[in-house]
Structure 1
Amino acid sequence: MENDGHDRAAAGQHLTPAEDLAADGQRARQEGRMILLLVSQEDCPFCQQIKEEVLLPMIKGGDHQDTLLIRELFIDFDYQVRDFSGQWVSGNTLARRYGAWMTPSLLFLDLEGRELTKKMIGIQTPEYFYFYLDQSIREALGRLQRRD
C-alpha cells in the first residue's frame, strides 16, 4: 500500500511531501478520502509547531486515518509538484492558486483539488487549534460526501 502520511508519522518521521497530487486525487477517489494539504516552508517555526503538536500526534493516534490523505506542500526552494491536472508547477505557484500566501496554511481538498471548506491560516489560538482543525475536517468530509 502506498504511503498515506500515516506510516511515516507513526515511525516518527515527517509528513509525506506533496509530489503527485493527480495520483493522490485518484487514490482519494478510490479510498473515499479527502486531501489535507499543509502549505509550509522549511524554516517556518509555526509550520513545525503544527506538525509536531497537531498533525503528527493526530496521525500517530489514528485520527481520521480512513478519511484523510495528508500531504505537505513546500513553497520555498525550487520545489516542483504535479498538480491535480497532471501539470508540473512550483509549490509556490500551486499555493498561490489557493490564495495560501502565509505559512502554515491548511487546505481541505477533494479529489480534483477543489477546496471543500475554508482554509486555515496560521495559528491563532494554539490551545484550540486541534478543535478547529477537527471541525474543519468534519465540515469538509460532509461536503465531500454530499458531492458523491
Structure 2
Amino acid sequence: MRTLIFSFVFILSATYWLTGCANESAASASQKLKIIPELQNLQTLGEQARQKNLPILLAFGAEWCAFCHQLRDEVLNPMMLSGRYEGKYMYMRYVSLDDRNPIPGFDGKPIRKDQWGESYGVDLTPTVLFIDGNGNEVAPRLVGIANIELYAAMIHKALNTAYSKMGNPLRIPAMPEDLN
C-alpha cells in the first residue's frame, strides 16, 4: 500500500512539474514572439501614415497582461506575418506601457509611452486605437477582448470607419479571409 501511495504521489508530482514547465515554456515562447513592431518613433510613423493617408493601429498592452499576449499571438502577429496589411491598409505598432524609455513624439519631442497612453485615456489593456498620421483618433477604439475569433473582423470594420473619416476611398473586406 505504501508503494502504491508513493507511486501515486510521484506521478502526480511529476505531472505537476512537467505541466508547470510546459506552461513556462509557452509563456516564454509567447514573450519571444513579438512580430508586430514595438512603437519606436511617432514622428517617422506619422510621416509614413500621412504620405499614404493610412491609419495607424496602436495596440496598447503590458507584459503582465495575458489578454495582450493572446491578442498579439492570435490576431496581430498573424496579420503582420501575412504581409497584406502593413503599409497597404494600415500601419501596426505595439505600445508597451511597461516601457518607460522616451521615444520621439509626432513633433519630434521625447515622450514616454505610458504617459502618452494616459493622454489618450488608455487605462485598460489591451486597448487598440486607430489614429491618423497626426495622432487624431479616426475610429472607435477596441478595449479588451470580447471575442478573439471575431477580433480581426472588428479591426477591419474600424479600418473602414477610419478610411471614411480620413477621406480615403480605400475599403477593406469585412472578413479577413476575403482579403486578397
Which residue in 1 is equivalent to 2:161?
A: 139
2:34 and 2:72 in contact (8 A); partners too: no
Gaps of 5+ in 2: 1-32, 169-180
Q: CA deviation at 1:18?
A: 0.9
Q: CA deviation at 1:67?
A: 2.0
How many residues matched? Answer: 135
2:134 corresponds, among 82, 107, 112, to 112
C-alpha separation between the residues in 1 aligned to 2:83 and 2:34?
15
Larger radius of gyration, structure 1 or 2? 2
Give the TM-score of the pair, scaled to structure 1.
Answer: 0.83
Aligned counterparts, 1:1-148, within 5 A = 13-65=34-86, 66-145=88-167
Structure with larger RCO (C-alpha < 8 A, sep 6+): 1
Larger helix percent: 2
Deviations 1:31-61 (A, max 9, x none): 3322111111122111111111111112222
C-alpha separation between the residues in 2 aligned to 1:27 and 1:61?
20
C-alpha separation between the residues in 1 aligned to 2:96 and 2:90?
19
Give the TM-score of the pair, scaled to structure 2.
Answer: 0.69
Local SS of the residue matching 1:128? helix
Larger strand percent: 1
C-alpha separation between the residues in 1 aligned to 2:99 and 2:149?
31
1:103 and 1:122 in contact (8 A); partners too: yes
C-alpha separation between the residues in 1 aligned to 2:101 and 2:64?
14
C-alpha separation between the residues in 2 aligned to 1:30 and 1:81?
21
**Percent pairwise identity:** 27
Local SS of the residue matching 2:167? helix
Gaps of 5+ in 1: 1-11
